[in-house]
Structure 1
């Protein structure tokens, strides 16, 4: 997570029990929303979530497109979204999320969730 100047202020990494890439991305968004709240940024600045999946982006924008199998994730997402004041979503350009690509390439596999902020 970066601040408004683009400086990295938080990192998170952990295992996912998701069966597909879309579920993993949705779980990562929910975790990022948790970290945003835990940091204390909620209410004082905006959270802009940039995602790589057009499918997940469409799920967030249009509830009618959400698959039934993901309803548990979306119930949690909608609760957290309702509490956020300044929250927006955007679709990353192809190859535009260098930090995420670097973490995946580096094999940041952890047996448990890791969250850090400063």
Structure 2
């Protein structure tokens, strides 16, 4: 497992986030069919984990990628002057193998979404999976997808980060950007919301 750290100090908010995150994946690995309400998990994990034998979740579930591919679900959000991003990568068997969550040094949900895509590409490249797997990045923003596919539609204010995304995607090769509904992007949305609070970006893969 690899993480990025820029200093050795940890705030209480960061510590609480990492604790909830590790607990979530421990419970999920212990009982694979467990489908918690992720929105409630971040607010009150005890109320969710206290009934681990919950029934079927009515929400639409995220489907795993096709054989030979890895899929990164990403999201960006903003609240007031704060912005956050998050993402989760799954392999073809549905297992989670990477995730990230943290603040965005910029304003607006569009820039946060672009930062999430850029971070997903960085994690995929740093984990050195590009030689073995194709990458699919799923976002629930149709606007962002249009910017990625049609350079004529790109706003000048975000031109630089869009060029960086182009460069990284070309370097990795075989990268596909796909739209997904917010209903199946739940974990990435939750990670982006949690990213509003921590002071540092958290990245991990295994």
> By the TM > 0.5 criterion, same fold?
yes
* TM-score of the pair, normalised by structure 2: 0.54
Larger relative contact order (CA 8 Å, sep ≥ 6): 1
Structure 1, unaligned runs of 5 or more: none
Structure 2 partner of 1:16: 104
* TM-score of the pair, normalised by structure 1: 0.91
Superposition map of 1:1-118 within 5 A? 1-104=89-192, 107-108=194-195, 109-118=197-206
For residues 147 and 153 of structure 2, the distance between their equivalents in structure 1, rounded to whole angstroms, comes to: 5
- 1:71 offset after TM fit, Å? 1.1
For residues 60 and 5 of structure 1, the distance between their equivalents in structure 2, rounded to whole angstroms, comes to: 28
For residues 56 and 101 of structure 1, the distance between their equivalents in structure 2, rounded to whole angstroms, comes to: 16
**Which runs of at least 4 in structure 1 moved beyond 3 Å after TM superposition?**
none
Provide the aligned length of Structure 1 versus Structure 2: 117
- 8 Å contact 2:101–2:192 — kept in the other structure? no
Structure 2, unaligned runs of 5 or more: 1-88
For residues 48 and 67 of structure 1, the distance between their equivalents in structure 2, rounded to whole angstroms, comes to: 24
- 8 Å contact 1:43–1:85 — kept in the other structure? no
State the Cα RMSD in Å: 1.4
- 8 Å contact 1:43–1:86 — kept in the other structure? no
Distance change (3 Å), C-alpha of 1:104 and 1:81: closer
- 1:102 offset after TM fit, Å? 3.3
Work out which of the two has the higher radius of gyration on C-alpha atoms and give 1 or 2: 2
- 1:112 offset after TM fit, Å? 0.9
For residues 5 and 59 of structure 1, the distance between their equivalents in structure 2, rounded to whole angstroms, comes to: 31
